[in-house]
Chains A and B, each alone.
Chain A
């Protein structure tokens, strides 16, 4: 049963191209950490809804690497990166690349803050090397809604010509 009191918060930093996500969980850091490092568990929650997540390899330790593929019908999207620092129940620092745009890489950090009473605050930041990249990254997470958003922007921009 979930009694989460805080919904996901998102901050897109205006000064540096990063996105910060904060969310609290009714589980101790060890459990939340395990759900990030165990590929079988990860596959149950990470992928967007309606997509299958297939783990190619996943070696979650300092110096390890990972690759997974989201699939839906005939569509495939693969992601890979390296684990730069893995500190059990405390922190994961990793790189993240969408293979559709292989020259781009995000630096991601997930911090597991122990709130006591079996609760954890998760702080996940993604840093990229340009604001354009950051905003494309934000847009890419939007799955279905993004096309509609672009269409609305088109309309808006068209009206100003």
Chain B
């Protein structure tokens, strides 16, 4: 289900440690032990965070190499930026219509329509 996939991506990123791990993986692949180093948590806890990121499709782990480095799937982030950009363009289109509405209004217009004032 596509909406679930989207929710998994965003809920995976709702945790500060996982966001931090993602930020570090943006610099390059790393092993679980390397990722666990800066945190005051067990390797098991880090593995659990990684599983969440993996299930969301944000990271992948090599099946071949013995140290199984964690790799960031940057494509998912490109996709998220695309969504945000589409949202922005949508808002921009709306505000260009507002530009036109404003251009047609007299300069001395009251901020609130008369029938709604008072009460």
Give A residues with C-beta under 8 Å from B: 1-2, 4, 7-10, 12, 14, 19, 21, 23, 25-35, 37-38, 41, 44-46, 48-49, 59-61, 64, 86, 88-89, 118, 122, 131-132, 134-136, 138-139, 141-143, 145-146, 149-154, 156-157, 160
Contacts and interface: CB of A to CB of B under 8 A. Distances in A.
30 contacts: A2-B96, A2-B99, A2-B103, A19-B87, A25-B95, A25-B98, A26-B99, A30-B110, A31-B111, A34-B111, A41-B101, A41-B105, A45-B98, A64-B116, A131-B13, A132-B14, A138-B87, A139-B6, A139-B83, A141-B91, A142-B90, A143-B90, A149-B83, A150-B3, A150-B5, A153-B76, A154-B2, A156-B75, A156-B79, A160-B60
A31 B100 CA distance: 12
B26 interface: no
Contacts of A8: 88-89, 91-92, 95
Contact of A131 (B14, B93, B109, B110): B14
Nearest to A19: B87
Given A12-B84, A160-B60, A48 B116 contact: no
A33 B112 contact: yes
Interface in B24-80: 57, 60, 73, 75-76, 79
A19 B7 CA distance: 17
Given A88-B111, A142-B83, A32 B102 contact: yes
